[in-house]
Structure 1
């Protein structure tokens, strides 16, 4: 039972009780051609007890309605026959009958029967002299009850149809949303599978082949080739590591769900927890496109990895600054620093600096007098830069 039906039934319960109480007052003080009025009070008592016992369930239970509706006809006959003014009871008998009977034709027939019964009761009390007025009153009552019942029934039917359509629409929307979620999950899984297959899996396959060749050279005592084999093997391993880090930064870091700021805070907390180095992060949530967030998060990962492995620092500061059309990520530590004159192999922070330049951004790595390291990566906020593939991939930070 829905909320509207419950409210309707409660309203009918209240109306029925109030009407029965009012009819009891009328039966006690109204004019009656008889010397006793006990049949009217007995009828009201039976009607009230039957309604409480099973009649109130007739709005939802056809069997209860079939047992209670005939009692309405009897009440329409007995009450006016004892006290004519109690014919007022029809104002509740008609609505109860219409609400407890499902078919409109049956409701009309019952309304006619109630009107006839009430007319007979009035004739019993008033005699044939009031026949014309009785016919007029009951005809108007029956016609009005049927017209009002048909109108309300049509409204109720349209309301039920609209409610059913609304439920179907909500169900369809829920199914469509679930289908979209499923399609999104499937699409993301397929994308990750393609990326892993095209990057990490191929790199690992190459590493396996290089390892087999190196073992063959070792077995054949071709030591002169081992150095070249190991160099290529190291390069392939670095490529696989870079690809896996890029995938982690794009997905597992949570950039796409709760923003770059939250991802940097988690990165700093993890570094502090694992190394004991105090990492403070000042990174508010700012609206950035996903590729920009991935690039900056990658810089933060590489810079904190440098702090973790080489800097011998006790603290580090991470700050995210937005200046107009560009955003800057700054990571500074109080470690040992590095010698800027030493050439780089293209990995670590220097490799990051070189490759970020290819992605329409800049990465400046400085060390003040060999004490502490400052990494500042700047990228456009809307350009959507990506870390491109390069022969010298990012990997373990080296100075």
Structure 2
């Protein structure tokens, strides 16, 4: 995600904090301390500049390699404590330099106990160096010693508070991360279950619209062929041929459902040709009168399959339930889409009371393509099924 997410370089990372602290330390600690010794004797200036150069080099190496071994960081902090003591001796006090250097004892240690111990040692050396440089006097209790010890106490309290705050924040972050991972797992499982349910529903619809309808046709044709076997052998032969053809089509559909063939089971070609072939089979099997207006409309494969399945389901309902004598099928192109209207003069039914899987399956199939199914019927007035589908813009 490009928005709403901070990259590592934009966060206030530990490395960035150390970098900012280094800048503050140089500007308000190292440089003022170097300037404070300019009016001292050449010997003191030499010692001071040497100490500052040494600690500056150590800090640069530690900053350049913040993930160096703990022993090396402890060595640097020990050198810093000695430098603070030495500068305090050479300047007759170094409380200000200690204050600016104090955060490093928390930035380059791993535990609060270690930070408290090392910063305490640095505070003691700073007090000792100042006392040694000035000599002992009661006034020292209000000068370098008091400020150093006060800075140490405040720094320790603030460091412990920050460490505790960061620890609590890390615990919350870990807890939220664990909760997020659990939520993601549950969401993935829910998506998997939803996908499985949708796939089962799709398979049920495909089986109903193809295999079940074909098997129902085979049963009806077989019963009719057996009844006409002695009275009309020619008719029986014709129905047996229809049974064979339907069985072959069902076999093809079964292979499609189990993935043996990649196509949809509907041969390429115009929708008019596909629907006319279906209607001819229906007339051959049932003997009903069918009128059809099927212009040659160029449609994509998914739309053709949806219209074919709606036609097959509607004709199956006419055969099983309508008791009709005439069926009308009209395919028409409308602005932005296509409509398929199937009517019959059968007995009709109450649409609101219909609980069949077929109509619901047609609605779902059309809805997947942003289409709509409208069924109009009442007892004694026949049935009108209208399938409306949008057509994608042609390039």
Q: Is the 8 A contact 1:118 1:138 kept in 2?
A: yes
- Counterpart Cα distance in 2 of 1:52 and 1:68: 10
Q: How does 1:63-74 map to 2 (within 5 A)?
A: 63-74=71-82
Q: Is the 8 A contact 1:58 1:64 kept in 2?
A: no
Q: Is the 8 A contact 2:375 2:383 kept in 1?
A: no
Residue of structure 2 equivalent to 1:26:
36
Aligned alpha-carbon RMSD (Å): 5.2
Q: Is the 8 A contact 2:88 2:94 kept in 1?
A: yes
* Displacement of 1:393: 11
- Change in CA separation of 1:350 and 1:216 when aligned onto 2, cut-off 3 Å: closer
Residue of structure 2 equivalent to 1:132:
141
Q: Secondary structure at the match of 1:106?
A: helix
- Change in CA separation of 1:25 and 1:197 when aligned onto 2, cut-off 3 Å: same
2:25 to 3, 6, 16: 16
- The answer to whether 1:87 aligns with 2:95 is yes
Q: Secondary structure at the match of 1:128?
A: coil
1:100 to 99, 104, 108: 108
* Displacement of 1:121: 0.8
Residue of structure 1 equivalent to 2:85:
77
2:158 to 148, 160, 170: 148
- Change in CA separation of 1:64 and 1:203 when aligned onto 2, cut-off 3 Å: farther
- The answer to whether 1:116 aligns with 2:124 is yes
Residue of structure 2 equivalent to 1:351:
343
Q: How does 1:1-399 map to 2 (within 5 A)?
A: 3-5=11-13, 6-18=15-27, 19-29=29-39, 32=40, 36-58=44-66, 62-129=70-137, 130-133=139-142, 134-206=144-216, 222-227=233-238, 317-319=333-335, 349-351=341-343, 359=351
* Displacement of 1:84: 2.7
* Displacement of 1:190: 1.6
Q: TM-score, normalised by structure 2?
A: 0.57
- Counterpart Cα distance in 2 of 1:76 and 1:58: 22
- Counterpart Cα distance in 2 of 1:205 and 1:57: 77
Deviations 1:1-59 (A, max 9, x none): 95232432332232223232232222335xx5885321111111111111111245347
- Which is bigger in relative contact order (C-alpha 8 A, separation at least 6)? 1
Q: Is the 8 A contact 1:84 1:122 kept in 2?
A: yes
Q: Is the 8 A contact 1:94 1:111 kept in 2?
A: yes
- Counterpart Cα distance in 1 of 2:348 and 2:36: 95
Q: Is the 8 A contact 1:26 1:85 kept in 2?
A: no
Q: Is the 8 A contact 1:214 1:226 kept in 2?
A: no
- Change in CA separation of 1:123 and 1:353 when aligned onto 2, cut-off 3 Å: farther
- Counterpart Cα distance in 2 of 1:166 and 1:33: 60
- Counterpart Cα distance in 1 of 2:345 and 2:222: 34
- Change in CA separation of 1:206 and 1:119 when aligned onto 2, cut-off 3 Å: same
- Change in CA separation of 1:225 and 1:71 when aligned onto 2, cut-off 3 Å: same
* Displacement of 1:353: 10
Q: TM-score, normalised by structure 1?
A: 0.56
* Displacement of 1:80: 0.8
* Displacement of 1:61: 5.2
Q: Runs of 5+ in structure 1 lacking a partner?
A: 242-251, 254-269, 281-293, 303-309, 321-328, 332-347, 361-382, 395-399
Q: Is the 8 A contact 2:106 2:159 kept in 1?
A: yes
* Displacement of 1:147: 1.0
- Counterpart Cα distance in 2 of 1:351 and 1:237: 29
- Counterpart Cα distance in 1 of 2:248 and 2:346: 20
- Change in CA separation of 1:125 and 1:66 when aligned onto 2, cut-off 3 Å: same
Q: How many correspondences in the alignment?
A: 293
- Change in CA separation of 1:138 and 1:74 when aligned onto 2, cut-off 3 Å: same
Q: Secondary structure at the match of 1:351?
A: strand
- Counterpart Cα distance in 1 of 2:121 and 2:310: 87
Q: Is the 8 A contact 2:92 2:133 kept in 1?
A: yes
Residue of structure 2 equivalent to 1:261:
none
